[in-house]
Amino acid sequence: MRKGKTINEIEIGDEASFSKTIFEADIVLFGAITGDFNPMHFNEEYAKTTPFKTRIAHGGIAGSLIAPVLGMMLPGLGTIALETKTRYLAPVKPGDTITATGKVVSKDIGRNTVVMELTWKNQKDKLVMSGEATVMPPRA
Amino acid sequence: MRKGKTINEIEIGDEASFSKTIFEADIVLFGAITGDFNPMHFNEEYAKTTPFKTRIAHGGIAGSLIAPVLGMMLPGLGTIALETKTRYLAPVKPGDTITATGKVVSKDIGRNTVVMELTWKNQKDKLVMSGEATVMPPRA
Amino acid sequence: MRKGKTINEIEIGDEASFSKTIFEADIVLFGAITGDFNPMHFNEEYAKTTPFKTRIAHGGIAGSLIAPVLGMMLPGLGTIALETKTRYLAPVKPGDTITATGKVVSKDIGRNTVVMELTWKNQKDKLVMSGEATVMPPRA
Amino acid sequence: MRKGKTINEIEIGDEASFSKTIFEADIVLFGAITGDFNPMHFNEEYAKTTPFKTRIAHGGIAGSLIAPVLGMMLPGLGTIALETKTRYLAPVKPGDTITATGKVVSKDIGRNTVVMELTWKNQKDKLVMSGEATVMPPRA
């Protein structure tokens, strides 16, 4: 299988993205995996009483779309995530199509670590989440 | 439904936990939700060639076990997550039982925000992940 | 459990069908099983740019509806599939109800094999897929 | 998103593969999608009485691993499958790791079609399925 990029192959400014629509089924399955049955995700009647006025997707669903970016694209196969930071800026709703993007902002060749700026935008190009990841690319 | 704790009801040192076993099915379903088909999660033969020697669970599965803690226990219903930070310290394997814990370390009554220290331990009490969350508890 | 029909019990022209609606959740789960996260199945925004103008279901979802026909109806329990051929004629969309039908067109008693003509129609009676299967019915 | 290869970019002999372990959860979910609850997949006691002596995976699970190859690798995004043919040669069991490979054997530039030879091998390099696919690569 094709190994990801090593730290020497990675350049500041490199970026990669993954996009996917968030389905009702994703919310159901995320509940199954995590036990997070918060009524703001699972109870339409309750959701009408919240500031969002409708059910919203778990933040972790959109958040996790960065995983295929880091682990399968940039740096790619063999990457180990050390730390991630995520800010939640706007709600993600069922039916939204989210694009998760990682962009290299610095690298430390001695420690073999790369810092990437993360953004998550919806189909209207609205920034719904932002963050940073520190990862170790695969070694040569 | 019972609203979560307001900032005045929350005290420094309060904590809550949620525990769950990570199943093979969780890995399969997390792949469905995120599109993350990294062979370190899905290909036993490839996984044997990695430093972990076996397939490991997506970090986001264990990570997301903190969501029911924050949103359904402490502060609880009506909480909005602003920011989370997660450090990945040791691999989580299928069959591991993970306990995610949030503990209040500070609160800002003016801004209505609470900072919580997060830990994730496995069934052997090994710390596999750690982090922080900044959340807004529900208002009175 | 009731064994399927043997080759002597099967007659040319015998047929059996299975019908099922294709749900969004089927698409999500089929992605989980197969790793097929093609954006024509998973990304509504991308799908709008394709000739189909909307997301379509994986061909393998409708295609696999023939399996309960062959293995549980005709010939039925104990049948072993040797070969299948499938032609994809029109897209299947989420919400479509597909009827998969197998009809016996020939049998070879010496080799214990049966050839069946396969059709897949949607709720508007439109032929969306067609094909053939060669199967071994259970022995007496 | 990056379009797949056009017919002029494809060369005879080009090949691509996708590998994945077949999990118990895959069998459960494939049953959910297809209604194929044949006891040879779902009933361990019944399965002991069959020639295979154990439950086997639905043929369609391994079969469908070719979909990400054709649709996302070679030719890749924008490919439309016209016809597939599959021969079932040996059983696939839960826990097997299957590699699905497509190799270009001919192309017809006038009709914009490519014929690919398909193979499915398990972790012991045993050929469990073989077949052919005729596909239309994306146009320039």
Q: What is the pLDDT of residues A26-73, one digit of tens each?
A: 999 999 999 999 999 999 999 999 999 999 999 999 999 999 999 999
Enumerate the residues of chain B whose CB falls inside 8 A of the CB of residue C33: 28
Top-confidence residue, C98 or D1: C98
Comparing CB atoms, the residue among C37, C46, C71 nearest residue D38 is C71
Of all residues in chain B, the percent with pLDDT exceeding 70 is: 100
Q: Are B112 and B98 contacting, i.e. CB atoms less than 8 angstroms apart?
A: no
Whether the predicted pLDDT of B125 surpasses 90: yes
Enumerate the residues of chain C whose CB falls inside 8 A of the CB of residue B29: 32
All structural domains of chain B:
15-136 (3.10.129.10)
pLDDT of residue C2: 81
Q: Which residue is closest to D56 within chain C, CA to CA?
A: C80
Burial class (CB in 10 A: 0-12, 13-18, 19+), A41: buried
Residues in CB range of C136: below 8 A, 6 or more apart: C79, C80, C82, C112, C113, C114
pTM: 0.94
Interface ipTM: 0.95
Torsion of CA B87, B91, B94, B96, to 10 degrees: -80
pLDDT in tens, B48-58: 999 999 999 99
CA-based nearest distance B97→chain D, Å: 19
pLDDT of residue A10: 98
- Is A83 in Cβ contact with B88 (below 8 Å)? yes
Distance CA(C72)–CA(D44), nearest Å, equals 17
pLDDT in tens, D23-63: 999 999 999 999 999 999 999 999 999 999 999 999 999 99
Candidates A21, A23, A33, partner chain B, best to mutate (most B CBs within 10 A): A33
Confidence of residue C80 (pLDDT cuts 50, 70, 90): very high
Whether the predicted pLDDT of C25 surpasses 90: yes
- The DSSP annotation for C70-97 comes to HHHTSS-TT-EEEEEEEEE-S---TT-E
Tally Cβ neighbours within 10 Å of residue D51: 8
How far is residue B75 CA from its own chain's centroid? 15
Q: Which residue is closest to C43 within chain B, CA to CA?
A: B35
The helix/strand count (H/E) of chain C reads as 5, 5
Confidence of residue B95 (pLDDT cuts 50, 70, 90): very high
Distance CA(D118)–CA(D17), nearest Å, equals 10
Enumerate the residues of chain B whose CB falls inside 8 A of the CB of residue C32: 28-29, 31-32
Enumerate the residues of chain B whose CB falls inside 8 A of the CB of residue D28: 25
DSSP-derived secondary structure letter, D119: E
Q: Which residue is closest to D25 within chain B, CA to CA?
A: B25
- Is B24 in Cβ contact with D123 (below 8 Å)? no
Whether the predicted pLDDT of B1 surpasses 80: no
Comparing CB atoms, the residue among C23, C42, C45 nearest residue A123 is C45
CA-based nearest distance A135→chain B, Å: 10
Question: Residues in chain D with pLDDT < 50?
Answer: none
Whether the predicted pLDDT of B2 surpasses 90: no
Whether the predicted pLDDT of A126 surpasses 80: yes
| Residue D1, CA distances (Å) to A18, B14, B97, C121 in order | 9, 47, 39, 32
- B44 half-sphere exposure, CB direction, 13 A CA radius: 13
Enumerate the residues of chain B whose CB falls inside 8 A of the CB of residue D23: 24-25, 27-28
Q: Are A131 and A87 contacting, i.e. CB atoms less than 8 angstroms apart?
A: yes
Comparing CB atoms, the residue among D19, D23, D97 nearest residue B24 is D23
Which residues are B104's β-sheet partners?
B116
pLDDT of residue C123: 98
Mean of per-residue pLDDT scores for chain A: 97
Enumerate the residues of chain C whose CB falls inside 8 A of the CB of residue A19: 39, 43, 45-46
